[in-house]
Amino acid sequence: MSDEALANLSTEERRFEPPAGLAAGANLTAASYGDAAADRLGFWAMQAERLSWDTRWEEVLDWSDPPFAKWFVGGRLNAAYNCVDRHVEAGAGDKVAFHWVGEPEGDTRDITYAQLMDEVCQAANALTELGIEAGDRVAIYMPMIPETVVAMLACARLGAPHTVVFGGFSADALASRVLDCGAKLIITADGGYRRGAPSALKPAVDEAVAKVEAEQSGLVENVLVVRRTGQDVAFDQNIDVWWHELVAGSSTEHTCESFDAEHPLYVMYTSGTTGKPKGILHTTGGYLVGAAYTHWGIFDLKPDTDVYWCTADVGWVTGHSYTVYGPLANQSTSVMYEGVPDAPHKGRWWEIIEKYKVSIFYTAPTAIRTFMKWGDEIPAKFDMSSLRVLGSVGEPINPEAYVWYRETIGGSRTPVVDTWWQTETGAIMISPLPGVTAAKPGSAMKAIPGIVADVVNDEGESVPDGSGGYLVIKEPWPSMLRTLWGDDERFKDTYWSRFKGMYFAGDGAKKDSDGDLWLLGRVDDVMNVSGHRLSTTEIESALVSHPKVAEAAVVGASDEMTGQSPVAFVILREAAGDGGTDIVKELRDHVAKEIGAIAKPSKIMIVAELPKTRSGKIMRRLLRDVAEHRDIGDVTTLADSTVMDLIGKGMATSSQD
Ligand code: PRX
């Protein structure tokens, strides 16, 4: 965000009051803040009552060994039972859990809770047959199809933590995650549909399995493959198993056991400041409490009447908490869509909202900005009067996009909840409440009831209203990450060492004159591209692994559509000469291969030198100035100040995008 935009924050005068009808019957009310503040643990215990526990907890929170939290100590439950079986037992078996919409038009499936239960039980029996037991890790690399949810829930049912890897990630990224968490099974599909064509997944899995095999022979015992597209795939009879043969043939009877509240539920890898992604560990009880409470409270969910749709892929944490666990724990009817927003036409999402009468809709600012660009006439063709709450997540939403979303998609009736949270937090932490808050466009407003957030200065002191600093969370919360998989030290260092006794989120934030919060983006070497987290170091490592590259520096430059985009500055090895005419394409493709297409730099500059301090540190600030076409600031600390002239001139004449 520019300095000017920062200065404007406090002068934002628009307020969007909650609609009277919504306010009158809202799930969370103004009193909820007071209730939670008066007895925070009692408030969380009340939220935990939404779940069905086989054994009730003895203690709400054990914080005797910070930052290692134990929530709902002694409690036992099964996450899959809570998401599925109990709703069937309560007589809601015929209720639709998912209106699934495939990308090819007409390819749809409505899945009831009873059907979901049968499929989860079959999958749990199939996994057991493949030798999966409680504690074993299972990697899931799938398109957005019902079997993905079934696979996750089957793992949860068995107490086998899943690690879902976004289908857009490369074979290398999949292999490194499988190795890091020691997954013995990979569940995948032959492919999915993207913009009308089947995309391939299985070849990437085969490549990943070969890589894993080279490092740790015998780790991956099986690959379970869903047939989605019917395209030809290589099939190794020794490890590959067809889902439709094994799962469909399994019994629909499966008795689930309960697990300790702190039993691992899943590991989700996300980018940190180093090249190696971090395995965020979430556990069963606290996570499910957090996901269920926030989904119910922040979206004002009325399970009997609402149709809810979160557009996030389940390969990201938003898909975990707000497509799978939160909605199912709350017995919601949700939409799940396989494809992209513009296939076969740019009104596809709005058509889906009209068809299923979606009432709660949750998406990312980058999508909203894209729709703004495509024009108001596209959503105007559809009847979206069913919508009553809109949500935004993943990156700061600029006020123009917020207002457009509210007016053009929400018909000026719907509150927009701008929800701030992270893979680490497991659930929404800062957000307006749709029935309470007079929301300001662009502000996530306040910590939700039960959460204590603040903005602090370098010394960890709370800043006064009107000032900026670092966002911190001051008290533990149920859905907090418990550690980084296999790396307690990195967990402590990354989140708990910067400010004593506080969780450091890595985001900058400002309190306006009313004390409301404005998120300002990351303060570390993590960038946010279309709401997806990428680390500059990870992309640098990918570039440096190319044989022609000697050194690389990557910065996240502001981008009107995607929030930020990676811009790379690369020094080639001498032996590579000028790298050849296709060097930029070659390097971009290389990054896609190493990490995934989302990490491809939008611009690559081949440079002779990088700006470094006398101690050899790359001055990324200067590179960001160049990438964002700003005047280059103070260069006095540079070892060689002429470097920036050369880079600046190069940037001005480069036209590639
Ligand atoms: O910088 C913040 C940004 O996304 C980061 C978390 O990314 P990830 O773990 O991938 O989770 C994304 C979905 C929850 C945060 O550190 N972020 C997320 N939501 C917002 C946001 N920035 C501003 N406003 C938001 N509403």
DSSP-assigned letter for residue 453: E
Instruction: Please tell me the predicted confidence (pLDDT) of residue 525.
Output: 84
**Alpha carbons 436 and 432: distance in angstroms, whole number:** 8
Pocket test of ligand 1: the residue of 470, 480, 507, 532 to mutate, having most ligand atoms within 8 Å of its CB, is 507
339 lines ligand 1 (CB under 6 A): no
136 lines ligand 1 (CB under 6 A): no
Q: Is the peptide bond before 146 cis (omega within 30 degrees of 0)?
A: no
161 lines ligand 1 (CB under 6 A): no
Q: Whose CA is nearest to atom 3 of ligand 1?
A: 395
Instruction: Please tell me the predicted confidence (pLDDT) of residue 656.
Output: 46
507 lines ligand 1 (CB under 6 A): yes
Distance 336 CA to ligand 1 centre (A): 22
Distance 479 CA to ligand 1 centre (A): 16
Among residues 299, 281, 268, the alpha carbon closest in space to that of 532 is found at: 268
Radius of gyration of the chain (CA): 24
Instruction: Please tell me the predicted confidence (pLDDT) of residue 657.
Output: 42
Q: Whose CA is nearest to atom 15 of ligand 1?
A: 422
Distance 364 CA to ligand 1 centre (A): 10
Above 90 in pLDDT, residue 368? yes
**Mean pLDDT, the chain, whole residue set:** 94
For every residue of 500-552, DSSP letters joined together read TTSEEEEEEEEE-TTS-EEEEEESSSEEEETTEEEEHHHHHHHHHTSTTEEEE
391 lines ligand 1 (CB under 6 A): no
For every residue of 588-617, DSSP letters joined together read HHHHHHHTBGGG--SEEEE-S---BBTTS-
Q: Whose CA is nearest to atom 11 of ligand 1?
A: 422
Distance 458 CA to ligand 1 centre (A): 22
Distance 271 CA to ligand 1 centre (A): 12
Pocket test of ligand 1: the residue of 1, 420, 527, 562 to mutate, having most ligand atoms within 8 Å of its CB, is 420
DSSP H helices, 333-476, are: 348-356, 365-374, 377-380, 399-404
420 lines ligand 1 (CB under 6 A): yes
Task: Give the position of tokens 């009736």.
Answer: 413
| Residue 336 φ/ψ, nearest 5 degrees | -135, 125
Could you report the per-residue pLDDT of 308-317, keeping only the tens digit for each?
999 999 999 9
**Alpha carbons 326 and 51: distance in angstroms, whole number:** 11
Q: Is the CB of residue 191 less than 8 Å from the CB of residue 168?
A: no
Q: Whose CA is nearest to atom 18 of ligand 1?
A: 394
Q: Whose CA is nearest to atom 23 of ligand 1?
A: 396
505 lines ligand 1 (CB under 6 A): yes
Distance 257 CA to ligand 1 centre (A): 35
Distance 419 CA to ligand 1 centre (A): 8
294 lines ligand 1 (CB under 6 A): no
Give kind and range of the element (H or E) at residue 443: none
DSSP H helices, 216-361, are: 243-246, 284-298, 317-319, 326-329, 348-356
Which of ligand 1's atoms lies nearest the C-alpha of 424? 9
Over range 577-584, report the average pLDDT.
Answer: 91
Distance 162 CA to ligand 1 centre (A): 22
Total count of residues recorded for the chain: 657
- pLDDT-based confidence at residue 7 (cuts at 50, 70, 90): low
**Alpha carbons 576 and 571: distance in angstroms, whole number:** 10
Distance 505 CA to ligand 1 centre (A): 10
Q: Is the CB of residue 165 less than 8 Å from the CB of residue 140?
A: yes
Across 280-310, b (16+ Cβ under 10 Å) vs e yields: bbbbbbbbbbbbbbbbbbbbbbbeeebbbbb
- pLDDT-based confidence at residue 631 (cuts at 50, 70, 90): confident
Torsion of CA 314, 318, 324, 329, to 10 degrees: 170
444 lines ligand 1 (CB under 6 A): yes
Separation of CA 199 from chain center:
22
Among 67-76, 280-289, 462-471, 609-618, the range scoring the smallest mean pLDDT is: 609-618
Pocket test of ligand 1: the residue of 270, 533, 538 to mutate, having most ligand atoms within 8 Å of its CB, is 533
Above 50 in pLDDT, residue 204? yes
Above 50 in pLDDT, residue 271? yes
522 lines ligand 1 (CB under 6 A): yes
503 lines ligand 1 (CB under 6 A): no
418 lines ligand 1 (CB under 6 A): yes
Q: Whose CA is nearest to atom 26 of ligand 1?
A: 420
Instruction: Please tell me the predicted confidence (pLDDT) of residue 127.
Output: 98
Could you report the per-residue pLDDT of 455-483, keeping only the tens digit for each?
999 999 999 999 999 999 999 999 999 99
Q: Greatest CA separation found in the chain?
A: 74
78 lines ligand 1 (CB under 6 A): no
Using a CB cutoff of 8 Å and minimum separation of 24, what contacts does 642-647 make? 643/609, 643/610, 643/611, 643/612, 644/611, 646/607, 646/608, 646/609, 647/569, 647/605, 647/607, 647/609, 647/611, 647/623
More confident residue, 548 or 631: 548
Could you report the per-residue pLDDT of 57-106, keeping only the tens digit for each?
999 999 999 999 999 999 999 999 999 999 999 999 999 999 999 999 99
Over range 545-574, report the average pLDDT.
Answer: 93
Written as six digits, the tokens of 167 are 């289908």
Which of ligand 1's atoms lies nearest the C-alpha of 533? 10
Query: Measured at the alpha carbon of residue 56, what is the angle toward residues 54 and 60, in degrees to the nearest 5?
Result: 140
Which of ligand 1's atoms lies nearest the C-alpha of 526? 1
Distance 526 CA to ligand 1 centre (A): 11
Instruction: Say how many C-beta atoms besides its own lie within 10 A of residue 128's C-beta.
Output: 16
Which of ligand 1's atoms lies nearest the C-alpha of 521? 1
570: buried, middle or exposed (CB in 10 Å: 19+, 13-18, 0-12)?
buried
Above 90 in pLDDT, residue 615? no
Written as six digits, the tokens of 271 are 């980018």
Which of ligand 1's atoms lies nearest the C-alpha of 519? 23
Above 90 in pLDDT, residue 115? yes
Q: Whose CA is nearest to atom 12 of ligand 1?
A: 394
Distance 300 CA to ligand 1 centre (A): 21
Among residues 310, 604, 302, the alpha carbon closest in space to that of 428 is found at: 310
Instruction: Please tell me the predicted confidence (pLDDT) of residue 603.
Output: 93
395 lines ligand 1 (CB under 6 A): yes
Q: Is the CB of residue 308 less than 8 Å from the CB of residue 299?
A: yes
Q: Whose CA is nearest to atom 14 of ligand 1?
A: 422
